Structure 1
Amino acid sequence: MDRPLRPGRRPLVAGNWKMHGLRKELVEVEKICAEAAAGGADGAEIVLCLPATLLGAAAPICAGAGVGLGGQHCHNEPSGPFTGDISAEMLKDAGASYVILGHSERRTGHHEGDESVRDKANGAFRAGLRAIVCVGETRAEREAGDALPVVASQLAGSIPITSTPESLVIAYEPVWAIGTGLTPTLSDIAGMHRFIRERIDAHLPGMGHGMRILYGGSVKPGNAAELMGVSNVDGALVGGASLSARDFMGIAGVYRHFCDAGPA
C-alpha cells in the first residue's frame, strides 16, 4: 500500500478505555509508555483516554514518555451543582490534554444531542483541552442510504465555530462497527473521510485540510495497517484493543513503517 500523505497532520492514535480499569491496570499504561519512549510509535502522537479515577495516577507515568492523557466526557460548565459530573477544568487539573465528546455510547445511552456535544466542546476549549468529537451512523441509517446526511448533520451541530486544527479532532466511528468485529470496506472509509473533510471545510472555511480525522470501530493490530493506509485517515480511536499494551502498541506501531507526519 502506498504511504498515505498527511502534510501538516501528525497521526494520532487514541485509546478509549471506556468503563474499564482499576489501579492494578496501570501496569498496562506503564508498558505503553515504556514502548512509546523507546520509539514504538515513531511519528504518531499517542493518547490514552482513561477513566477519570486513573488520570491523576497515570499522569506522572505518561509525562516522561510523551504519551498524552484524555478524559472520556466533560460537563460544559467549569463548576457547579452537577452531582456525578466532571468539568473540563477538572480533567485538565488531573493531567489530561484531550477529552472524547459525542461518542455514540454517550449519544445513545445518555441522550446527548449535537447541541450538548457542541457546548461541551466549547467547555473543553475554555479549559485548554483538545476535543475529539465523534460522529457516525447506525447500521439502519447506512442501509437506508442516510450515512452521509447523518454525519453531515452531526458535524454541523457538534462542531463549535471557533474550532481549529489545534483544538479539534474528528473521529468517525460507524456505530455498527464498534466492538462488533465488523468494519466498513476500505472504499467506504475513504469516501466517508473525504466527505468529512469537505464538510469541515464548508463549516469552517480553510480548516478542513489541517483537521485530523480518526477512524474508529474494531481497529485491531491485524487490520490497522490497511485502515491507517486509507486516504484521509489520520489515525485511530481504539476501543477494546487499547486495554492491552501489546495490542495498542501493535496498532500505533504501524507508523514506524509508514508515516508522513507533520506538526500536529
Structure 2
Amino acid sequence: MAHDVTITDHDIPLAVRDHGGPGEPVVLLHGLGGTLEAWDTVELAGHRAVAPDLRGHGLSGDGPWEWERALDDLEAVVEHLGLGNPAVAGQSLGGMLAVLWARRHPECPAIVNLDGLRSAENTADHYPGMDPAARDRELASLKARFDEQAASMGRPLTAELRPMFPARALVERDGQVYARPCAELLEAVRYTPEFRDTVPLLREVTCDALVVIPARDPQGMPGGELMEAFRRGVRRDLATLPPHIQVRELDAGHDVLAEQPKVVAALITDFLAARRAG
C-alpha cells in the first residue's frame, strides 16, 4: 500500500509517495505543472515504485529551478528511501530529468522517457516540411499562448478555476489561492537549453533507454500542421539513435499517463523485464 513521506533533511522539503512493492525500484517523475499523483494509476507490477513531487510542485518546497538542483533532489529521495541504483521513468519534464539522471549516473540500469524530448515552442529546423511563413505565424501564436499560461500562474485562482488543479498543487498566500508551480519557475524552465531540446543529451546516455512519443496532438492545444511538422522533426532526429535506445510510438497525446495508463505500465514493465532477461 502506498504511503506518503516528507524528506526534511534536504535543501527543501520533498514530498514523496512510496507505492511499495517488491523487486527493482523505479523512480517516477511527473511533468511540468503536474504532481506525483500523475503516476497513481500506473501500476508497475513487480517493482517498488516511488514518485516525488518535483521542486516547486505539489507539496515539495520552493526553490530556484536549476537542473542540477533538481537532480540533487532525486539523489536525496534515492538515499532517504534506500533505493540503491533505481531505474527512472519520467513524463515530459520528468522524462528530461530521467535523461539527465542517466548522464550523471552511467551505472543507472535503465530509463524511460515519455515524450520528454523538446518543447513544442522551438527553433525553425525542428519543423521540417512546413512552409516557413505558416510555421512562423503558428510559432508566434503558440508563444503568445504559452506567455498567457505562464502569466496566469502568477494570478490568484477564481473559485471556478480551482477544481481544474489537484488539491496538492494549490497554495494559499495572503488570503488568495494560487496554483503551483509559480510563474517564475515556469519561465525559468521554459527557456533552458535542456527543455528546448533534450535529444542531443539523450545521445550521450549509455544505459538502456525507452523513448515513447505520442502520435496525436496534445489535448486542449491547437495542433494541426505545426504539431505534425514537430512530430516529423522528432521522428527524424530519433531515427539515428544508437541501438540501446528504443523508440515506441503511442496512440495518445502528450499526457500519456492520463490517456493510456495501462499501456504505459505495460511498456515500462515489459521493457525493464526484457532488459533483465537480456
- TM normalised by structure 2 equals 0.36
- Structure number with the bigger relative contact order (C-alpha 8 A, sep ≥ 6) is 1
- TM normalised by structure 1 equals 0.38
The structure with the greater share of residues assigned to strand is: 2
